[in-house]
Structure formats: structure tokens, C-alpha cells
Amino acid sequence: MATTFDLSVHLNDFTKITRARKALLLLIANNLNADILYTEPIKLLFICTHNSRRSQLAEVLTDLLARYYDLPVEAYSGGTEATAFYHKMVEALEGFGMEFVANGEADNPVYHISDYPTKKYFSKVYDAAENPTKNFFAFMVCDHADEACPVVNGAKYRFPLKYKDPKAFDDSTEVDEVYKNKVIEIGTELNFIFHMLHKYRLNA
């Protein structure tokens, strides 16, 4: 099954983004654009507490956006501790047309998207060997990780790109809708960044 995630349908409503949030996203886009001029590829590391939901989601979507816009961006993720790529987040992404294949340990499976078998997604700490060690952009996607990591060694830039944790709804009847909306929320903001990078490149 091919990945059928349609950015134009799911992630293009930039009117959902507040003015204050857009200012942060534009700051990120401007810094990324400046780096693209001198360094290829540029590396983005998304950091959260457990590397199970928001940071994993951001990594997957960034990979898809980089391919969609044909931009030299590589995505990574990590946590202050390792757990597992949470199954509800995987299911939410599959609901948008992605197909994940799981291998490895049952308590921390290694996933790949069927269209892109060389890229592996699994929970790890942010300074794991699989992640970049220097000249990367660090994005702190939760409060706890931002507070627990006052310094991210090797990061060239660091941005607080925080999102509410969908975990709070894991035992509720709203869980599926919450995870679906989290894909749209984070995906729309990342798409805004990539849209601006693409626009800058066209106008260069």
C-alpha cells in the first residue's frame, strides 16, 4: 500500500495558526533558510520526554514534508528517556493513509513506512548514536523536556516548539479524535515552515 497522505487536503489550512505562533514559525523558517544556503542537508532533532508521541510524529511528518517539497532536510527525534512509539500515534498516522511495518522488540518496536523502508522510527534518547551530535536544530516539543534539558549539546539552534500531550486522553472515548487532531495540528505548523522554505527557494 502506497502512502497517500495528501498535504493539500490535510495540512494546508494555515488560518488555524495564531498570529503569535506564526511569528515563531517564521523565525524558525528564516533560520532554517539561512542554514540551507550553507549546509546541506540540515538536521532537525525533535525532543520530548518519552519520544513516544509528539516528537515521533514531528519526525515522521518532517520526513514526508522534506520529500514533498524536495528540500535538503533530515529529521530525527529523541527523549530524555526511551519508551516506545505509542501505538495510538501510529494508528492516527495510518488513518491518513500511511502504512507502518513493525519489527524488533515488542516493548519498543522499530517501525518503517512501507514506501520508505530505509528510515527507522523507534523510541530513543535524544543523544543516542542514531541522532546528530553537532550543528543541528533542536526543537523542544514539550515543557518537561525543555526544562530537563537546559543545554542540548551540539545544537546550533534551539527552539521551544511545544504542543499539549495527547496522552491525557488515552483512556477516554475521545482518544482517536484527539490523536487525529494532533497529526493535523503539528503537521499544519510544520507544513507552514516548509511552505515558507519552498517560497524562499523559489524567490532566491
68-102 tens-digit pLDDT: 999 999 999 999 999 999 999 999 999 998 999 99
The CA distance from 39 to 73, in Å, is: 10
Task: Between 173 and 3, name the one with better pLDDT.
Answer: 173
**Is the predicted pLDDT of residue 19 greater than 60, yes or no?**
yes
Residue 2: its pLDDT value, please?
A: 47
The CA distance from 91 to 110, in Å, is: 15
Is residue 5 very low, low, confident or very high in pLDDT (cuts 50, 70, 90)? low
Residue 42: its pLDDT value, please?
A: 94
The CA distance from 187 to 62, in Å, is: 8
Residue 3: its pLDDT value, please?
A: 59
**Is the predicted pLDDT of residue 4 greater than 70, yes or no?**
no
Residue with cell 504542543: 163
- Mean pLDDT confidence for 42-53: 96
Is residue 59 very low, low, confident or very high in pLDDT (cuts 50, 70, 90)? very high
pTM of the complete model: 0.94
The CA distance from 99 to 95, in Å, is: 9
Is residue 147 very low, low, confident or very high in pLDDT (cuts 50, 70, 90)? confident
The string of DSSP codes covering 9-22 is: HHS--GGGS-HHHH
> Residue 78 corresponds to which cell in the numbers above?
529523541
> Residue 63 corresponds to which cell in the numbers above?
520526513
The chain-wide mean pLDDT, for the chain, equals 91
- Mean pLDDT confidence for 136-147: 88
